Amino acid sequence: MREGQAAVIHRADYQPPAFWIDTVELCFDLDPAKTRVLNRMRLRRNPDVPVQPLRLDGEELNLARVLVGGQGTSFKLEGGQLVLENLPEGHEPFELEIFTTCAPAKNTKLMGLYVSNDSFFTQCEAEGFRRITYFLDRPDVMASYTVLLRADRRRYPVLLSNGNLVDQGELEDGRHYAKWVDPHRKPCYLFALVAGQLVCREQRIASRSGQEHLLQVYVRPGDLDKTEHAMNSLIDSVAWDEARFGLPLDLERFMIVATSDFNMGAMENKGLNIFNTKYVLASQSTATDTDYANIESVVGHEYFHNWTGNRVTCRDWFQLSLKEGLTVFRDQEFSQDLAGEASARAVKRIEDVRVLRTAQFPEDAGPMAHPVRPDQYLEINNFYTVTVYEKGAEVVRMMYTLVGRDGFRRGMQLYFQRHDGQAVTCDDFAQAIADANPGSKLAELLPQFKRWYSQAGTPRVQASARWDAAAGTYTLTLGQTCPPTPGQPVKEPVVIPVAYGLLDDQGRELASGLHVLTQASETLSFQGLQAEPVPSLLRGFSAPVVLEFDYGDAQLLALLAHDTDPFNRWEAAQRLALARALRFVAQPHEPVALDAPFVDAMRGILRHPTLDAAFKELVLTLPSETYIAEQLEVVDPPRIHAVREAMRQQLAQALQADWEWAWEAHQVGGAYRPDPVSSGRRALAGLALTHLCLAARASADPVWPGKAYQRFKDASNMTDRFNALSALVVSGHELARPALQRFHAMFKDEALVLDKWFALQAGAPDRGGNVLPAVRQLMQHPDFNIRNPNRARSLIFSYCSANPGAFHRPDAAGYVFWSERVMELDAINPQVAARLARALDRWNKLAEPLRGAAREAIARVAAKPDLSNDVREIVTRALA
């Protein structure tokens, strides 16, 4: 280990804190260049831990003064920590005062206290509080907070912190103050403050019990008209948690504040959620249906953390999924419940599974593979991952499946009865759900079930069938394996709930149920059948596994036509398309030619009289390039891109008349509403328009590109406008250029819309290597700013992480661009840099010469001196 390099932290090394902090009084004199922070704490020794010095975490702080019981004291600074050895003996509380300063305007990492658009914001999770003051910066230390904010009144008229406003007033020299008291004890990662010129939409609500609450959404002046949807989502969230889980809002005031400079999506600070503007601001002219849906789910997510995360928090950061997996599960259920009908719920489920399979499965198969509850980390920020979040949510969902809806609610109640106000572990959660459901499969299998928390890698379920026609017996054998992952060469069988059905050739359901697979191999048999059934396995994606079953086309076509489970109906189409894509990829010298049965099946779905438009749109969207790549041992991204594009082109031409019908038939009239039905219709119309523009490319017929341009110009909402623009860009039509110009001119003052403009161009299909030069040119655009994470993501990530066909260039120029940007970003914002670094996670599977070139690019980054822990951890693991 080099000097100054941090060490790997291990879960097994957990020790309770040597001191408890009972109360914290913070006083801030806010100034962008030099903010003064006075931190007065009451501490006491933890009687369960041997006597030792107090070691407080700190980072980039200037220490001015330390007082113990009002007296000066000796201290040391060791590796960033403030170490106090001469503290009062015994277990009586004592007072510690620390006076520091920091420089928020220079804080480009956006962790701790920082400035954005001349306002102050904080981000403390996971370890940002130590950038504000010296503290025991760990989630199991919970304290009561009182916060006094002082700042210039004109420049910072709004002063916010957690809890309740108890006092405010004027000071000399044009300054003013506000005092906030949080009635709830909390870990420091939930601390927040905001100061600036902000305006708010507010709404008073009464809970079921009659309790009154004030809800507020704060934004910059000018954005107020874009806050209605966020406010409605918040009102829905409060009502939902009370109705579904009996969990009420425990605060008089609940605030959401939006900032355009934010590393992640949003943050659940107690009573003062801070959000990326992307998940707050929406108007029909600037936000798409997807944006509206994302706002609803992120507002829900942060609100639900108030119980799952804040009232009961994590003992240590290895337990992150305790709050994140559970809260993602809750926000998914919330969105499903608001979607209403079974078919709309299924659409949401399919979308969630698509995220899991295109982002989490690759993570679980690559160098960053880690268990839902990791065993070690160098930088905790690298573990805010799709594994901890989305796979963690699937683990909670399996518990839900095993104990049932009522059983799960009972389990949640027991969890809060036992642990309200505590910092606990994933084991505590699973134990509560199991204990509330004695006699359930979960209770019976709990130790084995918990392997889902400790084993990394995506399990594979191998299913095979035997049909004994003479006996009328159908036998299903289910096996499970899990590939090795870094540090875990051998895996034990896990508990896999397999929801299934058997269909006859008319599509009638002959049997259905839930089989809980626990062994390496098990057999199920079904008697008295007239003919060989078609198995519908893993319905609703009942477990986060890869299901291997040697389906024939006829079986998949039957499932696509008849399965009562909408998830497997969609999955059948994905399997049909995937099988074809893989065949074409493997035969580079054969033409990509789709067969009539497949094309007819797609037409059948598109024209289906009763299926929802949203569901049709999902079925008619081919598996992503990333998902196709995951099925292969050796990956040639440009080849996969070419195959998928060719398949799409054929669907465009073969179904042209059907796409025309779909476009005409799914126009949405009347006032804009982002509800599932209208959104689904717009999505399908948008998909149709893209295919019509693609078909026009082949025939050089200007009609549909002309219609797309017209729609782009007179659309009354961003969804239709952006879909039309995207159809032109994706089809590479010459009208794309004037449309892009016009779009920029129309929305030059709308940052979130400009993000879409950058992202669309960086994510465009590659034609002769044209995307990278365009991206490099856009880096020079006056609206580009690498310091703003949303903007960096919209241009750089859209190219490196979301456009594999364009990024993996045989001349390695994409990788050169990537390494330059990782190093450039690392000096500004290591968290964002480390995310970008993961674009080459799967380098080891690339076909040569890509593989060698990618390795070289990673090695170049790894060789840079002074890398952050964030990036160093990613590149070291990649090369291991």
Which residues have a catalytic role annotated? 302
- Closest separation in Å from C-beta 445 to ligand ARG: 29
- For ligand ARG, the closer of residues 305 and 580 by Cβ is 305
116 binds, among ligand ARG, Zn ion, none (CB under 5 to 8 A by kind): none
Q: What would the 3-class secondary structure string for 10-78 be?
A: EHHHCCCCCEEEEEEEEEEECCCCCEEEEEEEEEEECCCCCCCCEEEECCCCEEEEEEECCEECCCEEE
The structure tokens listed for 566 are 């909408």
- For Zn ion, the closer of residues 298 and 461 by Cβ is 298
- Closest separation in Å from C-beta 273 to ligand ARG: 9
Alpha-carbon distance of 520 to 542, in angstroms, equals 18
266 binds, among Zn ion, ligand ARG, none (CB under 5 to 8 A by kind): ligand ARG
Can you tell me which residue has the tokens 């499946």?
401
- Closest separation in Å from C-beta 876 to ligand ARG: 20
The structure tokens listed for 741 are 């110009």
- For ligand ARG, the closer of residues 189 and 663 by Cβ is 189
- For Zn ion, the closer of residues 327 and 868 by Cβ is 327
263 binds, among Zn ion, ligand ARG, none (CB under 5 to 8 A by kind): ligand ARG
- For ligand ARG, the closer of residues 182 and 268 by Cβ is 268
Q: What is the bridge-based pairing of β-strands 81-84 and 460-468?
A: unpaired
381 binds, among Zn ion, ligand ARG, none (CB under 5 to 8 A by kind): ligand ARG
Per DSSP, which regions of 664-735 are E strands?
A: none
- Closest separation in Å from C-beta 313 to Zn ion: 12
- Closest separation in Å from C-beta 323 to ligand ARG: 7
Q: Are 864 and 830 in contact (CB under 8 A)?
A: no
- Closest separation in Å from C-beta 389 to ligand ARG: 7
Q: Are 823 and 864 in contact (CB under 8 A)?
A: yes
Alpha-carbon distance of 268 to 297, in angstroms, equals 13
Burial of residue 94 (number of CB atoms within 10 Å: 0-12, 13-18, 19+): middle
- Closest separation in Å from C-beta 325 to ligand ARG: 11
83 binds, among Zn ion, ligand ARG, none (CB under 5 to 8 A by kind): none
- For ligand ARG, the closer of residues 25 and 125 by Cβ is 125
Per DSSP, which regions of 469-577 are E strands?
A: 473-481, 496-503, 509-517, 521-526, 534-537, 546-548
Q: Are 758 and 717 in contact (CB under 8 A)?
A: no
- For Zn ion, the closer of residues 57 and 324 by Cβ is 324
330 binds, among Zn ion, ligand ARG, none (CB under 5 to 8 A by kind): none
125 binds, among Zn ion, ligand ARG, none (CB under 5 to 8 A by kind): ligand ARG
Q: Are 61 and 131 in contact (CB under 8 A)?
A: yes
- What's the Cα-to-Cα distance from 388 to each of 270, 327, 551, 680, rounded to whole Å? 22, 11, 32, 30
- What's the Cα-to-Cα distance from 840 to each of 294, 422, 850, 853, 855, rounded to whole Å? 27, 39, 11, 11, 9
Q: Are 231 and 215 in contact (CB under 8 A)?
A: yes
Neighbouring CB atoms inside 10 A of 634's CB total 11
Q: Are 499 and 493 in contact (CB under 8 A)?
A: no
The structure tokens listed for 813 are 């120029």
233 binds, among Zn ion, ligand ARG, none (CB under 5 to 8 A by kind): none
Element (H, E) at 345: helix 342-355
- For ligand ARG, the closer of residues 182 and 302 by Cβ is 302
- For Zn ion, the closer of residues 324 and 841 by Cβ is 324
* Residues near Zn ion, by CB under 5 A: 324, 327
Neighbouring CB atoms inside 10 A of 14's CB total 14
Q: Are 127 and 112 in contact (CB under 8 A)?
A: no
- Closest separation in Å from C-beta 535 to ligand ARG: 37
- Closest separation in Å from C-beta 88 to ligand ARG: 35
Alpha-carbon distance of 254 to 853, in angstroms, equals 51
* Residues near ligand ARG, by CB under 6 A: 123, 125-126, 263-264, 266-268, 301-302, 324, 381, 384, 831
- What's the Cα-to-Cα distance from 700 to each of 177, 647, 809, rounded to whole Å? 67, 19, 29
